[in-house]
Amino acid sequence: MKRFFVLLLAATVLACQTSRQEKVVGLMTDSAMVVSAHALASQVGTDIMKRGGNAIDAAIATHFALAVVFPAAGNIGGGGFMVIRMKDGSTTTLDFREKAPAAATTEMYLDKEGNVIPELSTQGHLASGVPGSVDGMAAAHKKYGTLPWKELVQPAIDLALGGFTLSEREAAWFNEMKEDLIKYNTVTPDFLIRDLWQAGDTIKWTELGHTLELIRDQGRAGFYEGITAEHLVAEMQRGKGLITLEDLKSYASVWRDPIIANYKEYKIISMPPSSSGGVCLVQLLKSVEPFPVKDWGFNTVKTIHLMTEAERRVYADRSIYLGDPDFYTAPIKQLIEDQYNDERMSTFDPTRATPSAEVKAGVIVGYESEETTHFSIVDPQGNAVAVTTTLNGWFGSHVVVPGAGFFLNNEMDDFSAKPGVPNMFGVVGAEANKIEPNKRMLSAMTPTILEKDGRLFMVVGSPGGSTIITSVFQVILNVVEHEMGMQEAVNAKRVHAQWLPDAIIPETGALSKKDSLTLVSLGHTITPRRSIGRVDAILVLPDGKLEAGADYSRGDDAAKGF
């Protein structure tokens, strides 16, 4: 009884009156569009398509530009995933996720008593996996690129060496991480240290610019071999990290078949493991498909209760069944079947929350970083690319490679340091995602493309660690069930839930006071937060025009196109 009154009070104090916000329309273009976390990067990708490049060319150029203008998550020292749909309808995905170094061990983050050592997998040199981004871009260009590689890397070099001005958000980020930069680097990156960064200040990434010149001139080898690799390994040795020259040289991204499924009249094309995103997204859509979500409405009690119950079950499955497919055979086919998800939802009670303690992974016979970045691209020919890439935490491990000028990731935290112990995003894993040498850590990244009636319909994705999956899930429902346009769907307030912690996590203002109290009465805990995800998406309208959904309300995201 006491717990109920505490939760009731929390819901009363923290919930705000909300309603479906005023309809807005995003940037509209006739033929091509890039939506990314930074206007300069979106412009770079757009310019590439104006010069005749295709969506993959634009994605490569946008990716390298983000490594400069959005270094908190854009990167050459991290990794990610790419989903491609060509104009003829053919699809594929590219896994350029980071890998554990060859010297990694299952118990590397545990003390003598077997307890997880705080921050060891999230900060500093030991937190970094072998980067995959540069290899991924090179692999994409080799298979699909049309413009010369040098032309795709040069815009990022120009931004790095010429400099650009900081927004208020960006200045605040550099100010906030000053102490960590000093603490975790063996060589202090002085160019990032100021008494106070302010909006309008110009920043230049000179060492990064020269590293990009090597990548421009030498391709993949400009990063994984030679002086750049030597700089990275030297820093690893100074900071007692694990990455070696052989780890770098042997890294290879992997082309994989996409996760493909149907939700009503829509075809879902998404990322397979080593990302959990595609499997979990399809499971969520399958779980809610039999229910009248459209009639129930946007962010109503019935809709939020249903979504939460589905999310609990799907994240429980994720914790047990998903991992790097090169090390672990996941039951993907069974997980995305209608019958399996119907069975999982057979215990759904519309009048009562299911405590997470009562939710276990489903029985199958035979058997993220919060701070990521996503961009969506459609070219004039109708080719589409969805890319989600990350350093994991904001600015990754906070380690800048001296002489090379880029941040290293802290992706090792996405492994299960110990089965049953949550990572930095509260996500619990098990044996399938344990640390092993040369293994890719499980991700929540969910770059996704939708078709309707055999035609391109939507390109979508988000950063946000474990909230990535639910952010993409909600934006899709906002469009296909709640009949929102792309920008309206992106702007709409979001609500997240997963298996553990056992709570509904709404953005401030996402739920009305009345609805919050009703959800508490059903047995839910409400834990509001300021912001969830930063979705960047493109919707193809019936007349063929493109509408952007750029998450400018949660970041500096911007759409460009023509």
State the catalytic residues.
372
- CA torsion sign, 264 to 266 to 269 to 274? negative
**What is the rounded CA–CA span in Å between residue 37 and residue 371?**
12
Amino acid, res. 399: V
User: Locate tokens 């980020």: which residue?
Assistant: 173
Number of Cβ within 10 Å of residue 412's Cβ equals 27
Residue 169 Cα to chain centre, angstroms: 20
Q: Please, which residues have CB within 8 angstroms of residue 525's CB and are 6 or more apart in sequence? A: 7, 502, 503, 504
Matching residue, tokens 């070696």: 244
Bond preceding residue 290 cis, omega within 30 of 0: no
* Torsion sign over Cα 302, 305, 309, 311: positive
CB of 510 closer than 8 Å to CB of 18: yes
| Token reading at 418 | 């110990």
Q: Measure the CA–CA gap between 298 and 478, rounded to whole angstroms.
A: 7
**What number of other Cβ atoms are within 10 A of residue 557's Cβ?**
26
Give the integer Cα–Cα distance in Å for 43 and 48: 9
Q: Which residues, 6 or more positions from 263, have their beta carbon under 8 angstroms from its beta carbon? A: 282, 285, 286, 289, 476, 480
Give the helix, strand, coil percentages of the chain, each rounded to 5.
40, 15, 45
Count CB-CB contacts under 10 A for residue 315. 27
> Contact, 520 vs 499, CB < 8 A?
no
Nearest to 87 by CA among 32, 16, 30: 32
C-alpha 293/C-alpha 306 separation (Å) is 9
